[in-house]
Amino acid sequence: QPLQAIRSAFLDFTDDPFYTAESDSVRYISDGLLIVENGIITDFGEYNTLRSQYAHIPITTYPDRLIMPGFIDTHVHYSQYEMIAAYGEQLLEWLSKYVFPTERKFKDKAHAEKIATLFFDELIKQGTTTALVFATVHPESVDAFFEEASRRNLRMISGKVLMDRNAPDYITDTPETAYEDSKKLIQKWHKNGRLLYAVTPRFAPTSTPEQLHTVAKLLQEFPDIYLQTHISENKKEVAWVAELFPESQGYLDVYDRAGLVGEKSIFAHGIHLTDAEFERLSNAKSAIAFCPTSNLFLGSGLFKLTQAKSSQHPVKVGFGTDVGAGTSFSILHTAHEAYKVAQLQGESLSAFKALYLATLGGAKALSLEDKIGNFNPGKEADFIVLDPKATTLMATRNQSFPAQSLEELAQPLFGLMMLGDDRAIQAVYIAGKLAHSLAAI
């Protein structure tokens, strides 16, 4: 089907509702038409305005549904799929006890392929169409990931984990192999179709200064690749980094001195960042992945979303599930937990703001706002069909859907965010192709 037309209610964002009034940043079209040609959005607007222009194309209609851009997960570990919900520990003990032994298995390419398939099945069924993903230290794990992403024509970013100390021998590399292996993988996968590469030092404690230096070298040689890592997630971790890097001014400074803090750097967590560190991230145009289900599960702390989204020093923020520390692949669950994290700090996160973070906000965090994140013509046609009345409970709670206006939508949309999960993800389109559907309509 080179030319497609989809009719339904649509919700997306043309601006950031944290800084611009919702009436000017949220776009809700209660009866809209989306035109897709060869996987790219070519037109979008009111059905009544566009209908005559596209009278010759068969229309797929989703009545009583809400279509949104595909969700974006800015931080997740595909290798941790099988160890989600590991009992009883906080970050550092959890890593040694559960994560490292699990990641060890990815030396075996067949295992990596099996988990990659399960991971993408789950991601798509949850409505996530783009993610920034940690593989493991093994180059095989990156190949398995990108091969499967490529088969599904997904826009995905990933990279080989780099770690050359403070971890078991079976899961470490060296500055030299980190450099050589990453370089080969970048040449093979970066900009291969919709795939992009992120250099991935795990976090400061598991890389020597020499290894961080090789990361900087890669970023200089390949200026448009990404950098992803973890930062200031847990208090013991922050104290350990201060011991390991006594010459640094703080956690972010370890990465900054190495030359790793830039526009395409995405830092997961940032729970214990100082005011000066938020300001530095803002000036550098770096992004933070806010991972509420993980931060609550590991007892790491409450992310200061309001500070990150301040007008004075705005930092780009996206949602991350951070599975296996995160407890769900669902971005709706993630938004639900983000709401609670805000409430614990005396703040409220509206459904519009949360769903902005899940879509256009995530796209901006990944510097992909020219490719994905909303329905502007020219964007890639990754979108999801949501059912705000997916269950009896939701149907009762969300009686006021379908909504005629943005004001009327706020209430059922919040109900969807708080009660929704994969049962509410009716269908998922990847580059214009139906990739998942719960039931024929």
Q: How far apart are CA 302 and CA 300, in angstroms?
A: 7
Q: Which does 233 bind (CB under 5 to 8 A by kind): Fe ion, ligand GUN, none?
A: ligand GUN
Residue 211: strand pairing partners: none
Which listed range, 13-21, 119-127, 216-224, 316-324, lies at the site for Fe ion (CB under 5 A)?
A: 316-324
Our CB check for Fe ion shows the closer of 122 and 322 to be: 322
Give the closest residue to 205 by CA, choosing from 292, 344, 342, 100: 100
Min separation Cβ 373 and ligand GUN, Å = 25
Site for ligand GUN in 306-325 (CB under 6 A): 322, 325
Determine which residue in the list 141, 294, 374, 398 makes contact with ligand GUN, applying CB under 6 A.
294
Nearer to ligand GUN, 91 or 273 (CB): 91
- From the list 99, 141, 139, 145, the residue with the least C-alpha distance to 120 is 145
322 sits near Fe ion (criterion: CB under 5 A): yes
| Residue 95 interaction partner, one of Fe ion, ligand GUN, none, beta carbon < 5-8 Å per kind | ligand GUN
The residues near 407 (Cβ < 8 Å, ≥ 6 apart) are: none
Sole binder of ligand GUN in the list 230, 309, 316, 389 (CB under 6 A): 230
- Tell me the residue nearest to ligand GUN as measured from the CB: 325
Q: Is 95 in the site for ligand GUN (CB under 6 A)?
A: yes
Contacts of 96 (CB under 8 A, 6+ apart): none
Q: Which residue is nearest to Fe ion (CB)?
A: 322
Tell me whether residue 67 or residue 199 sits nearer to ligand GUN (CB atom): 199
Beta strands in 195-248 (DSSP E): 195-201, 226-231
| Closer residue to Fe ion (CB): 119 or 375 | 119
Peptide bond into 388 cis (omega under 30): no
- Residues 358 and 413 sit within 8 Å (Cβ to Cβ): no
* Separation CA 297–CA 323 (nearest Å): 11
Q: What is the 3-state secondary structure (H, E, C) of 106-140?
A: HHCHHHHHHHHHHHHHHHHHCCEEEEEEECCCCHH
Question: Does 289 sit near ligand GUN (CB under 6 A)?
Answer: no
**Residue span binding Fe ion (CB under 5 A) among the ranges 17-25, 119-127, 262-270, 384-392:** 262-270
Residues between 71 and 90 that touch ligand GUN (CB under 6 A): 77
Placement of tokens 């799929």 in the chain: 81
Collect all residues with Cβ–Cβ distance below 8 Å to 191 and sequence separation of at least 6.
none
Q: Which is nearer to ligand GUN, 13 or 226 (CB)?
A: 226
Number of H helices, E strands in the chain: 18, 16
Which stretches of the chain bind ligand GUN, using CB under 6 A?
A: 77, 91, 95, 99, 202-203, 230, 233, 294, 322, 325
Which stretches of the chain bind Fe ion, using CB under 5 A?
A: 268, 322
